[in-house]
Amino acid sequence: MPVPGPGYSITIRVEAPPSASVAGDLTSAVGRVGGVITAFDVVDSHSDSVVIDITCNALSADHARDITEALRGLPDVEVRKVSDRTFLVHLGGKIEVNAKIALRNRDDLSRAYTPGVARICQAIAENPDDARRLTIKRNTVAVVTDGSAVLGLGNIGPAAALPVMEGKAALFKKFAGVDAWPVCLDTQDTEEIIRAVELIACVYGGINLEDIAAPRCFEIERRLREKLDIPVFHDDQHGTAIVVVGALRNALRVVNKPMTDAKIVVCGVGAAGSAIIRLLLQRSPADIIAVDVDGIVHRDRGDTDANLQWVAANTNRENRTGRLHDALVGADVFIGVSAPNLFGADQVATMASDAIVFALANPDPEIDPLEAQKHAAVVATGRSDYPNQINNVLAFPGVFRGLLDAQARGITDAMLLAAADAIADVVDGERLNASFIVPSVFDAAVAPAVAEAVRKAAGGH
Ligand X SMILES: NC(=O)c1ccc[n+]([C@@H]2O[C@H](COP(=O)([O-])OP(=O)(O)OC[C@H]3O[C@@H](n4cnc5c(N)ncnc54)[C@H](O)[C@@H]3O)[C@@H](O)[C@H]2O)c1
Site residues (vs ligand X, CB under 6 A): 149, 152, 214, 236, 240, 267-273, 291-293, 324, 337-339, 342, 360-362, 382, 390-392
Active-site residue, selected from the candidate residues 113, 174, 227, 374? 113
- What SS3 class is residue 172? helix
CB neighbour class for 182 (10 Å; exposed up to 12, middle 13-18, buried from 19): buried
- Number of H helices and E strands in the chain, helices first, is 18, 14
Least separation in angstroms between residue 209's CB and ligand X is 12
- The verdict on whether 374 is a catalytic residue reads no
**For ligand X, which is the closer residue by CB, 16 or 242?**
242
CA distance 247 to 436: 9
Buried/exposed 33-45: b ≥16 CB within 10 Å, e otherwise? ebbbeeeeeeeee
- Per the annotation, the verdict on 113 as an active-site residue is yes
Residue (34 or 387) nearer to ligand X, CB: 387
DSSP characters over 262-311: -EEEEE--SHHHHHHHHHHHTT--SEEEEEETTEE--TTS---SHHHHHH
Burial class (CB in 10 A: 0-12, 13-18, 19+), 157: middle
- Closest contact distance (angstroms) between CB of 352 and ligand X is 21
Q: How far is the CB of 360 from ligand X (least distance, A)?
A: 4
Q: Which is nearer to ligand X, 206 or 273 (CB)?
A: 273
- Nearer to ligand X by C-beta: 67 or 212? 212
CB of 106 to ligand X, least distance (A): 52
Minimum gap (Å) between residue 376 Cβ and ligand X:
17
- Return d(Cα 280, Cα 213) in angstroms, integer: 22
Q: Is 183 helix (H, G, I), strand (E, B) or coil?
A: strand
The residue (of 40 and 436) whose beta carbon lies closer to ligand X is 436
Task: Identify which of residues 140 and 381 has a Cβ nearer to ligand X in the complex.
Answer: 381
130: which DSSP letter?
Answer: G
The minimum distance between CB 419 and ligand X, in angstroms, equals 14
- The residue annotated as part of the active site, out of 8, 94, 137, 168, is 168
215 preceded by a cis bond (ω within 30 of 0): yes
- Contact by Cβ (8 Å): 460, 407: yes
Q: Which residue is nearest to ligand X (CB)?
A: 270
Cα end-to-end distance, the chain, whole Å: 47
At residue 226's C-alpha, the angle toward residues 177 and 338, to 5°, is: 70
Residues recognised as catalytic: 113, 168
